[in-house]
């Protein structure tokens, strides 16, 4: 979010949060900065799970201020180029695709060596989709790099596809480890039938998050 002080006095911002009917509430982003008159700052704000039965507008920025006893300020959020709407529609399309083609991540418990990539499998199942299903591409996050032998296709007469992948540490520096907002959001592009590939996400369970967190800690320690 871009926050601008259009008043005549300095304002100390302490936090920023998104308030939109199209998304579940997410934790506020703490950021303490003094904005002088006419100054502005860009702050990265999280958004929660999408609500596909509700549009994301009207949206508001909820801004914490440092004045003693002051309540957060709720101001209308301008969204040039319908950025929030595009995020909302993309997340809803990803949820629909996940129902059509469920995907399961199965990581190994540990890598073969401390500094080696972690072996894993992507198991693709047939949900509501008919025809061929092609897994075109996978992506990682700030902290994790995912690679696999893709594209891979589940034929129309098949109900299951297993793809071998590896998960590697993308960054081990303290700044990235401390500041990564969505370390387990792994993009996935799937084509159903003759349709163009569509964006989805690889689900990461709580147990898999534990495995990946332990892997990252062990591997980063081994590479230092």
Give the model confidence (pLDDT) of 64-108 as tens digits: 988 756 788 899 998 877 899 999 999 999 888 988 999 999 999
Q: Where in the chain is the domain with CATH 2.60.40?
A: 2-81, 101-223
CATH numeric code, 2-81 = 2.60.40
Listed range (33-42, 101-110, 146-155, 164-173) with the worst mean pLDDT: 33-42
User: With contact defined as beta carbons under 8 Å apart, do 49 and 23 qualify?
Assistant: yes
Q: Is the pLDDT of residue 134 over 70?
A: yes
DSSP reduced 3-state for 76: strand
Task: For residue 95, report the phi and psi dihedrals to the nearest 5 degrees.
Answer: -65, -40
Q: What CATH architecture does domain 101-223 belong to?
A: Sandwich (2.60)
pLDDT bin (cut points 50, 70, 90) of residue 161 is very high
Confidence band for 224, pLDDT divided at 50, 70 and 90: confident
**pLDDT surpasses 70 at 172:** yes
Can you give the pLDDT at residue 223? 87
Angle formed at CA 148 by CA 143 and CA 154, multiple of 5 degrees: 130
Q: What's the whole-model pTM score? A: 0.74
């Amino acid at each position: 979010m871009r926050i601008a002080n259009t008043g005549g006095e300095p304002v100390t911002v302490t936090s920023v949060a998104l308030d939109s009917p199209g998304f579940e509430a997410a934790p506020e982003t703490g950021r303490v900065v003094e904005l002088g008159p006419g100054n502005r700052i860009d702050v990265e704000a999280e958004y929660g799970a999408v609500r596909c039965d509700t549009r994301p507008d009207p949206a508001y920025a909820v801004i914490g201020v440092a004045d003693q006893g002051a309540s957060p300020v709720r101001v209308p959020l301008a969204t040039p180029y319908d950025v929030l709407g595009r995020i909302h529609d993309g997340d809803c399309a990803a949820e629909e695709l996940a129902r059509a083609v469920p995907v399961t991540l199965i990581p190994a418990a540990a890598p073969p060596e401390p500094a080696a990539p972690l072996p894993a499998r992507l198991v693709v199942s047939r949900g509501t989709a008919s025809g061929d299903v092609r897994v075109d591409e996978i992506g990682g996050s700030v902290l994790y790099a995912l690679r696999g032998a893709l594209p891979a296709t589940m034929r129309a007469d098949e109900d299951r596809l297993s793809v071998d992948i590896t998960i590697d540490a993308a960054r081990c520096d303290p700044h990235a480890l401390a500041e990564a907002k969505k370390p387990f959001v792994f993009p996935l592009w799937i084509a159903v039938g003759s349709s163009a590939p569509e964006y989805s996400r690889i689900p990461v369970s709580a147990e898999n998050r534990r495995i990946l967190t332990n892997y990252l800690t062990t591997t980063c320690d081994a590479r230092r």
